[in-house]
A and B are shown apart, each in its own frame.
Chain A
Amino acid sequence: MTFHSDFDCYGRMVLIRRFEEAVERLFSEGRITGTAHVCIGQEAIAVGMAAAMQPNDAFTSTHRGHGHFLAMGGDPGRMMAEMFGKATGYAYGRAGSQMMSDLSLGFYGANGITAGSMGLACGLALQAQYHNTGRVVVCTIGDGASNEGMFHESLNLAALWHLPLVVVCENNGYAMSTPLSVGLANQSIAARAAAYGITGTAVDGNSLSAVRDAVSLALTQARSGKGLQLVECHTYRLSGHSKGDKREYRSPAEEAAAWENEPLARLAAELEKQYPDAPGRIAQLNQQAAETIAAAIEFAVSSPDPDPSTVCDDLFAPHLPTA
């Protein structure tokens, strides 16, 4: 997905926000079931990363992946249909919220297992290095995921082999109910880079430009053969961990303060400072986002359920040609 201007970025960020608000609403109305983790407050990271990437680059996501997918060009209608478990969804209803993908967009999938996509990201990067394709892989994880063995094993291996990989940690302050202070012995995730002899940077994850600049630089380094880069983006998860989270582990005052720093309003304010016509353009983008989401829900609702007799289809890939 190409972003020509900050207005493009704003448009995608507000689309993500409206998508996530719709998901929360649809859950509370009982119209979609299962589970979902929304990324309200983290939109600048999703779009900042995507805006820094080149068309052939690849991306791996987490359980909190709707924003990443939309930023990479995911179609809101097919995503919503997947949320509804419909046959027109990205995985015909097999994936649900947590495992959507579109390989044609370089989006190698959300992943329901914490840190579960890191090996996949290393392997995609290994292929890029193997065939010298120039591709770099962006792998997102959360702060909580940095405590899995997989995080440490992957960082060591990718650093050792100079894989063209950028690991972006979305540090939103919490892993479910666990704040950083309860989960991490050293609360700087960027600092862990030193242990693997790589570069680690920490940026304001609610600033679109800060994320885009940091990830751009990391991508350039990784693409030039310098190997693994680690970027930590500080942000805040404004919603609950998943539906049904009453957020009793933090105070309303803390949340209110975090809302003051939310990325969408911040970007709007920046645009309004820079461009006299910004208010009108922003209003138009807001309107478009609302219409797109309404159409996405309409598409999902009017789509057919998957045929239960297809439940065992696609378990194995068809025969692959060999050299």
Chain B
Amino acid sequence: MKTFTATIRDTLAAELRRDPNVFLIGEDIGAYGGAFGVTRGLISEFGPNRIRDTPISEQALIGTAIGAAAAGLRPVAEIMFMDFITLAVDQLTNLAAKLHYIYKLPCPIVVRTPAGGGRGYGATHSQTLERLFTGTPGLHIAAPSTAADASALLQSAIRGATPVIFIEHKLLYPLRWEIGLTLPPPLPFGHANITHSGNNVTVVAWSYMAHLALTAANQLAAEGIGVEVVDLRTLAPLDEETITAAVRKTGRLLIVEEGPKTGGFAGEIAARIFETSYDYLEAPLRRLAGPDTPVPASRTLEAACIPTVETIANAIRELASL
């Protein structure tokens, strides 16, 4: 049994060993090991040149990673909390995403970043901001929900040629999975995973919400409600084929998203299903997401902002009864 954290660390170590051009860059990732301990200990094997601490300069560190990638290195950057990626959105949006299209330069950078609420960190340390990038062609986005998927996707992200935003949910870090001694093989982007099969309701989710959706599906099986859970694994590219097939199978769709409902990626999925599969829907599709408000620090208030196993299960029950 290995934690999400340790699996990512081992994957980074394996990639650092495999390719001397791979290096890590970020704030407090060296001796400190990163705010969530993901890179802990790596500096003793790989040294400060490859586990590179930066000043608190998100824009410059991402820009530097992009330049190094364009010149042939393979930087894996860490942005300490996804909330702080806002300071580097320019470099990612206006440079990384356009580097190959305009300049014909490769941009094999990976930006790892912890996202999400549930730890009482407050409004500027709890956001899920994939929506800042889902509408930017030229970027790939991974949002795994298990340690094995995280490892497999991280390997292909590091070995690829495309800039990747790699989202690690903070609540996944301490969870444990049976991983085995060897890491899983790399997994190409754009392949969703059916993590639970059922005939009544399809649930589409990613990152920690996919983990909760699976838990809800297991509970509901006992009640006789069959849930088909589609774990997207990557938002860009999006595996529309798998989603579509799963929706057509059950005729009912719930999309679960952690962030505010307005402007979220769930809306994009809903629109696509409506375009392609309207005739297959037996009930109106549903989105379960956060309210349109910042994430407050108080546990009581924060809990009112984020879907839970219970609210997901209730939404599924309701949809199944329509």
Which A residues lie at the B interface, using CB under 8 A? 33-35, 85-86, 89, 92-99, 111-116, 144-145, 147-149, 175-178, 182-184, 248-249, 305-306, 308-312, 315
C-alpha spacing A310/B296, complex, angstroms: 11
| Contacts known (A85-B300, A308-B300, A312-B293); A34 close to B119, Cβ less than 8 A | yes
Which chain B residues border A94 with CB–CB below 8 Å?
122-123, 294, 296-298, 301
Q: List, sorted by A's number, 12 A–B pairs whose CB atoms are closer than 8 Å.
A: A33-B119, A85-B120, A94-B123, A94-B298, A98-B125, A99-B124, A111-B124, A112-B83, A176-B27, A178-B53, A183-B55, A306-B296
The 7 A-B pairs of least Cβ separation, nearest first, read A96-B297, A93-B298, A85-B298, A34-B120, A177-B32, A147-B55, A308-B304
Residue of A nearest to B59 (CB): A149
Shortest CB distance A208–B (Å) = 28
Do A147 and B57 touch (CB < 8 A)?
A: yes
C-alpha spacing A73/B291, complex, angstroms: 34
Q: Which of B282-299 contact A (CB under 8 A)?
A: 291-294, 296-299
Q: Is B56 an interface residue (CB 8 A)?
A: yes
Do A147 and B56 touch (CB < 8 A)?
A: yes
Shortest CB distance B38–A (Å) = 14
| Contacts known (A96-B121, A112-B122); A183 close to B56, Cβ less than 8 A | yes
Do B291 and A312 touch (CB < 8 A)?
A: yes
Q: Is B132 an interface residue (CB 8 A)?
A: no
Do A315 and B293 touch (CB < 8 A)?
A: yes
B32 is contacted by which of A144, A249, A309 (Cβ under 8 Å)? A249
Which chain A residues border B28 with CB–CB below 8 Å?
176-178
Which B residues lie at the A interface, using CB under 8 A? 27-28, 30-32, 35, 53, 55-60, 83-84, 87, 119-125, 291-294, 296-301, 303-305
Shortest CB distance B305–A (Å) = 6
Shortest CB distance A128–B (Å) = 26
Do B123 and A99 touch (CB < 8 A)?
A: yes
Shortest CB distance A179–B (Å) = 10
Shortest CB distance B237–A (Å) = 31
C-alpha spacing A33/B84, complex, angstroms: 21
Residue of A nearest to B29 (CB): A177
Which chain B residues border A97 with CB–CB below 8 Å?
122, 297
Which chain A residues border B59 with CB–CB below 8 Å?
149
Do A93 and B292 touch (CB < 8 A)?
A: no
- Decide if the interface of chain B is mainly helix, strand, loop or mixed: loop
B55 is contacted by which of A33, A95, A178, A309 (Cβ under 8 Å)? A178
Do B301 and A306 touch (CB < 8 A)?
A: yes
Shortest CB distance B55–A (Å) = 4
Residue of B nearest to A304 (CB): B300
Do A177 and B292 touch (CB < 8 A)?
A: no
C-alpha spacing A169/B185, complex, angstroms: 49
Do B298 and A249 touch (CB < 8 A)?
A: no
Task: Please name 18 further chain A to chain B contacts, defined as beta carbons within 8 Å, in addition to the given A147-B57, A183-B56, sorted by A numbering.
Answer: A35-B121, A35-B122, A93-B297, A94-B122, A94-B294, A96-B297, A112-B122, A112-B124, A115-B56, A148-B56, A148-B58, A177-B28, A177-B30, A248-B31, A306-B300, A308-B300, A309-B304, A310-B301
Which chain A residues border B53 with CB–CB below 8 Å?
178, 182
Which chain A residues border B35 with CB–CB below 8 Å?
176
B57 is contacted by which of A148, A249, A308 (Cβ under 8 Å)? A148
Residue of A nearest to B58 (CB): A148
Do A184 and B55 touch (CB < 8 A)?
A: yes
Shortest CB distance A186–B (Å) = 12
Which chain B residues border A116 with CB–CB below 8 Å?
124
Which chain B residues border A308 with CB–CB below 8 Å?
300-301, 303-304
Shortest CB distance B311–A (Å) = 12
Residue of B nearest to A116 (CB): B124
B292 is contacted by which of A35, A98, A147, A315 (Cβ under 8 Å)? A315
C-alpha spacing A119/B304, complex, angstroms: 31
Do A93 and B55 touch (CB < 8 A)?
A: no
Shortest CB distance B261–A (Å) = 12
Most buried by A among B294, B297, B300, B304: B297
